[in-house]
Structure 1
Amino acid sequence: MTNDMNAERLKLAVDLARRGGDLALDYFRRRDALVVETKRHVTDLVSEADREVETLIRDALEKTFPEDAILGEEHGLSEGSSGFTWVLDPIDGTAPYLNGLPGWCVSIGARDGDGPVLGVIYAPILDELFVACRGQGATLNGEPIRALDGDLRAGLLGIGANDRVASDRVGRMLTELMDAGVGWMRYGSGALMLAWVAAGRLVGYAEPRMNAWDCMAGYVLILEAGGRILPFPDGPGLTLPAPVLGASAGAYDELRDICDFGSAPDW
């Protein structure tokens, strides 16, 4: 994939993140009228806003780059032939979104044969646009960002969890982190917390089961900001939930060891 092609894709992704964010924000302001459905679990919700924002993004990607594959939370996987796969979450943080909270964003990521390649995360309520492309660094509203220096206690840790993992196992993970002197928080959008790792607002983020559309854009941001990530599965595994972990370089090893996401069937 040429640098010119990646530059074209990144430009489009930035435009679509803003356009998708504007549409989501319009729905957000009249959210009491939204049609909302439960998917897999009572806390796993989807609204017409999620679907409409993803449709807007997918239609533009399919028109401009018809040979690219697209994986989205609401409309699944469409195959491609270019070796480039877009990975989309139209509204990450649907529960905060539907409850009138600011912790949600539009996330547009992508990967190629070498792994995560570009990521754009736009938080409309905060008016913050995070952008990264392989080899080009990461920015927030056009200004360079870097992950924190220091170890796991250099800042707050972001945590995510859901019903795919036993509550007692999540509790043990939090106990082990707190026993290690780690302060942690949860904000509602895993994608946004990954972006905050890249921006140096969090020292890391960990979630035992997460989807590719929640993490792909944030992974590019973290890598380009000097951090480290736990690789997400490729191939058929791209469509399945997997452990997600990203952190500053100085915190990564300890966080990986404490979380120990590879210790199946414990997780």
Structure 2
Amino acid sequence: MSQAILTRFEAARSVVRDAAALAMKMRPAPGGPKGTQKSAQDWLTETDGAVEAFISERIGTLFPEDGFQGEEEGRTRTGTLRWVVDPIDGTSNYARGRNRWCISLGLMDGDTPVAGIIEAPMLGETYTAVKGHGAFLNGERIHASPVTDPATSLIEMGWSNRVPPGVFQEKIDAILNLGAMPRSGGSGAIALAEVACGRQDGYLEIRINLWDVAAALVLLEEAGAKVSPFLRDGGLEDGIHILAAAPGIADALSQAVGVSLK
């Protein structure tokens, strides 16, 4: 991995840390949702825009030749190296004063994810990875779960209002039929990071976007998890499905939910 990417990664860690402090300062108290809806159950808060603008400005100052893409403003700069940010992943949780949300910042070299940072400040956790250099949680190396029996596994599935309810129920039933324990936590980036660190054994979402997964894809690869070909299958330009799994149950889970890992 080039020194240019390692230099950017180290600088980005500081940028994300400061962005997390801003999000913490702006976080709402527990209670009813604080924000507006882009569509049913798809929340937007003032913090989403503020954090994205903060990261864009800082990265642009540090690396003006780099591209930048955010969930809220889209692609605002172009470059071979491109930063992809979800300013608040888990906005529905954040808007209600819950803890399971994060800032996700990935770096791509062309179409290849090469570095990622996922910071969940209310959980006190920072996931980091650089391609070829391993994956880490709070500085400690992480690996995907060693589980090999689906009946002992914990699988999370993300919910989206863009997916028909019947499809969600069908996939949940398939997970239950494996004997696995289902979960749904409201943050795709954290869920994928937890597959990387072995806290859970799989994550499925039927429609998810690049900004949700750009940082996590590097984590998963470096941690030894199996992942569906998100980028190859259209994830660079549109929301599509993703499946990530511990190697020992990957084939069984893939067959059960009908999502290829090849």
- The two structures have a TM-score, normalised by structure 1, of 0.90
> What is the CA RMSD across the aligned residues, in angstroms?
2.1
Given residue 181 of structure 1, which amino acid in structure 2 is its aligned partner?
Answer: G
Shift of 1:15: 1.1
CA separation of 1:253 and 1:68: change in aligned 2, threshold 3 A: farther
Aligned residues: 259
Given residue 26 of structure 1, which amino acid in structure 2 is its aligned partner?
Answer: K
Equivalent runs, 1:77-156 vs 2, <5 Å: 77-81=75-79, 83-113=80-110, 115-151=112-148, 152-156=150-154
Equivalent runs, 1:1-267 vs 2, <5 Å: 3-29=2-28, 36-39=35-38, 41-81=39-79, 83-113=80-110, 115-151=112-148, 152-233=150-231, 237-261=235-259
Query: What are the superposed Cα offsets for residues 212-242 of structure 1, whole Å, 9 maximum, x if unpaired?
Result: 1111111111111111211223698523101
Report the secondary structure of 1:193's partner residue.
Answer: helix
Shift of 1:257: 2.0
CA distance in 1, matches of 2:168, 2:192: 19
CA contact (8 A) 2:28 2:96 kept: no
Shift of 1:71: 1.4
* Residue 265 (structure 1) aligns with: none
CA distance in 2, matches of 1:153, 1:6: 41
Report the secondary structure of 1:5's partner residue.
Answer: helix
CA distance in 2, matches of 1:239, 1:132: 23
CA separation of 1:20 and 1:31: change in aligned 2, threshold 3 A: farther
CA separation of 1:3 and 1:31: change in aligned 2, threshold 3 A: farther
Query: What are the superposed Cα offsets for residues 18-44 of structure 1, whole Å, 9 maximum, x if unpaired?
Result: 111111011115688x972221x1211
- The two structures have a TM-score, normalised by structure 2, of 0.92
Query: What are the superposed Cα offsets for residues 67-90 of structure 1, whole Å, 9 maximum, x if unpaired?
Result: 222111111112423x22211001
CA separation of 1:16 and 1:154: change in aligned 2, threshold 3 A: farther
Given residue 94 of structure 2, which amino acid in structure 1 is its aligned partner?
Answer: Y
Q: Give the gaps of 5 or more residues in structure 2.
A: none
Q: Give the gaps of 5 or more residues in structure 1.
A: 263-267
Given residue 184 of structure 2, which amino acid in structure 1 is its aligned partner?
Answer: R
Shift of 1:106: 0.5
Shift of 1:256: 2.1
CA distance in 2, matches of 1:261, 1:79: 33
Name the stretch that deviates more: 214-223 or 112-121: 112-121
Report the secondary structure of 1:58's partner residue.
Answer: helix
CA separation of 1:207 and 1:88: change in aligned 2, threshold 3 A: same
Query: What are the superposed Cα offsets for residues 175-206 of structure 1, whole Å, 9 maximum, x if unpaired?
Result: 11111111111111110111111111010111
CA distance in 2, matches of 1:73, 1:200: 27
